[in-house]
Amino acid sequence: MNKRRTKIVATLGPASSSPEKIEQLLLAGLDVARLNFSHGTADEHRERVRMLREISSKLGRHTAIMGDLQGPKIRIARFRDTQVTLEKGQAFTLSNAHDPNDGNERIVGIDYPSLVQDCHPGDELLLDDGRVVLLVDSVDEHAVHTTVVVGGPLSNNKGINRRGGGISAPSLTEKDHEDIRLAAELECDYVAVSFPRSGSDIDAARKLVRAAGSEAWIIAKIERAEAVADDDALDSLIQASDGVMVARGDLGVEVGDARLVGIQKRIIQHARHQNKLVITATQMMESMIASPLPTRAEVSDVANAVLDYTDAVMLSGETASGRYPVEAVAAMARIAQGAEQEHITTLSRHRVGQTFQRCDETIAMASMYAANHFRGVKAIISLTESGNTPLIMSRIRSGVPIYCFTPHPTTQRRVAMFRGVYPVPFDPKAYEPADVSDEAIALLKKSGVVHEGDWVILTKGDSYHSTGGTNTMKIIKVE
């Protein structure tokens, strides 16, 4: 069977913070470790990163790290007794004047005062990812008065969404500013921005990340209904970012579960068309928090994301706090690899009939066309600084592995997220210019990827050390 192409993002948390567990997760297939800044202290994250880097280098792996900002999630405050049970038909009030630690079954505080301005009679509020539904009856200066439409248990600090979206808090909170500095300190390869409303929220995040001294790529989490309201809104968010995450938790609540799968497919397709990364996230293996085996529906969910050609599939609670973190990664790896056997994952109609903007993009596309059509091509070698050339290549469906040859550890880690791309530490400057191609191929031959008589495609530019300069594709027979 071919090497797995779809990458696995797994969240580190209390269930995955010992050196043994981290090693097992890496061996099971973790490619990108996610730090969820909504939970845990800075020191806990520091310690996880330290272990992960140490074990990755022991195993000779290039693992990327993604810091995921909490963002302005709007939440209820706390109950006197941690939890209440709401009955259908009863009245329930959300108030910004109520003691935040003294909620009861009639009223609870909210930590977001402007909720009262954003809500109107007739709105449906979804609490705890839609498990509890409230209908807004009236709004006054300090409170939103509602009737319970779907009751059930409700506990401290649960999130609030509005059906159809539109409750908008500024995208980056004080805590996010702090966490951006932490992400820079930890040399995170990716920073994920929660609840962005538009490209300008991503621009603002990118500025802060750069100001903190980090070169991390910025992932926009698509989780507001406004972000997918029309193609222009979606495309401008994608355009501003380096990649997007289909953050199905909040998005599903706002757009409704029935629309979610179609929207997932649209987001994946749009991201790839703009040469951007895409991660499919949330509840992919949810039942594995408590069970060693996934359900049929979960298997099908992961496989479908793989067939949609997502770069990565993501685990949250399954690996952060579940009972079977290693089994969850192993199951995901197995399902991804199985789905990748289907022909539709190796044949491409990507951007047929469309023009390209850049020379390196054109070379990347031409290389993939050649690799997919010329029998005997066993590998693609992309000499790269930033990873941009292999990124563009990997937007195209293919069964041919793309090897990212780069001297930079940041790039080696970054490409851990790209579908079908594998890093190889390699510095062209260490060789005579005329020998670089042969040396690169010799490395792949030594590691058993290609053999005498195979064909290899190699891309590079005129200079051996500048980004954006790729202008050459060579097709070389392995001697």
Q: Which CB atom, from 351 or from 408, has the smaller least distance to ligand G6P? A: 408
Catalytic residue among 21, 75, 265, 266: 75
Quote the CA–CA distance of 80 and 144 in Å, as a whole number.
20
Between residues 95 and 437, which has the closer beta carbon with respect to ligand G6P?
Answer: 437
State yes or no: is 75 an active-site residue.
Answer: yes
Q: Which of 249, 256, 409, 469 binds ligand G6P (CB under 6 A)?
A: 469
Task: Please identify, using beta-carbon distances, which residue of 66 and 383 lies nearer to ligand G6P.
Answer: 383
Binding mask 272-311 for ligand G6P (x = CB under 6 A): ----------------------------------------
Applying CB under 6 A, which part among 5-13, 127-135, 157-165, 464-472 lies near ligand G6P? 464-472
Listed in order, strand segments (DSSP E) in 116-261 are 124-127, 132-139, 143-150, 152-155, 160-162, 190-193, 217-222, 243-247
Say whether residue 460 binds ligand G6P (CB under 6 A): yes
Q: What is the DSSP letter of 289?
A: G
Cβ proximity to ligand G6P: between 182 and 277 the closer is 277
CB hemisphere CA count around 78 (13 angstroms): 6
**Which is nearest to 475 in space by CA: 365, 374, 358, 348?**
374
Q: Which stretch binds ligand G6P (CB under 6 A): 231-239, 245-253, 273-281, 467-475?
A: 467-475
- Which CB, 156 or 386, lies closer to ligand G6P? 386
Options 148, 461, 473, 478; binder of ligand G6P; rule CB under 6 A: 461
Give me the catalytic one of 6, 11, 63, 282.
282
The three-class DSSP label of residue 181 is helix
Single out the residue of 26, 263, 470, 473 in contact with ligand G6P (rule: CB under 6 A). Answer: 470
Residue from the set 19, 113, 170, 468 that interacts with ligand G6P by CB under 6 A: 468
Residues numbered 381 to 400 that lie near ligand G6P (CB under 6 A) are 383-386, 388-389
> Of the residues 34, 197, 397, 413, which is catalytic?
34
- Closest by Cα among 470, 251, 227, 244 to 361: 470
Would you call 221 a catalytic residue per the annotation?
Answer: yes
Least distance in angstroms from the C-beta of 428 to ligand G6P: 5
Instruction: State the minimum distance, in angstroms, from the CB of residue 386 to ligand G6P.
Output: 3
Contact predicate 289/255, CB 8 Å: no
- Grouping H, G, I as helix, E, B as strand and the rest as coil, residue 8 is strand
User: At residue 424, what are phi and psi to the nearest 5 degrees?
Assistant: -135, 115
Q: Which residues in 333-372 contact ligand G6P (CB under 6 A)?
A: 360
Cβ atoms of 359 and 367 within 8 Å: the answer is no
Considering only residues 198 through 227, tell me which ones interact with ligand G6P, judged by CB under 6 A: none
Identified catalytic residue from 4, 73, 221, 272: 221
Q: Which stretch binds ligand G6P (CB under 6 A): 37-45, 188-196, 310-318, 456-464?
A: 456-464
Cα dist from 23 to 67, 79, 350, 352, 381, whole Å: 20, 40, 37, 42, 29
The residue at minimum Cβ distance from ligand G6P is 461
In the complex, the smallest distance separating the C-beta of residue 48 from ligand G6P, rounded to whole angstroms, is 29
List Cβ<8 Å contacts ≥24 apart for 437-442: 437/474, 437/476, 440/381, 440/383, 440/405, 441/381, 441/476, 441/478
419 catalytic? Reply is: no
For the CB of residue 387, give the shortest distance to ligand G6P in the complex, in Å: 6
Residue 467 lies near ligand G6P (rule: CB under 6 A):
yes
* DSSP reduced 3-state for 79: strand
Question: Shortest approach of ligand G6P to residue 415 CB, angstroms?
Answer: 10
Q: Is 242 in the site for ligand G6P (CB under 6 A)?
A: no
Give the nearer residue to ligand G6P in terms of CB position, either 111 or 439: 439
Q: Does 24 bind ligand G6P (CB under 6 A)?
A: no
Packing angle of the helix pair 19-28, 325-339 (nearest 10 deg): 10
Report helix, strand or coil for 247.
Answer: strand
Binding string, 409-448, against ligand G6P, x = CB under 6 A?
A: -------------------x--------------------
Distance CA 10, CA 29 (A): 9
CA 311-315-319 angle, 5° bins? 145
Single residue of 177, 207, 465, 477 touching ligand G6P by CB under 6 A: 465
- Rounded to 10 degrees, the C-alpha dihedral 246/248/254/255 comes to 70
Q: What is the DSSP pairing of strand 312-315 with strand 7-12? A: parallel
Q: Distance (Å, rounded) from C-alpha 316 to C-alpha 318?
A: 5
Separation between Cα atoms, residue 322 and residue 294, nearest integer Å: 13
Known catalytic residue: 282? yes
- Cα–Cα distances (Å) from 467 to 208, 379, 390, in that order, read 24, 22, 12
Contacting residues toward ligand G6P, per CB under 6 A: 360, 383-386, 388-389, 428, 460-461, 463-470
Catalytic residue numbers, as ranges = 34, 75, 221, 282
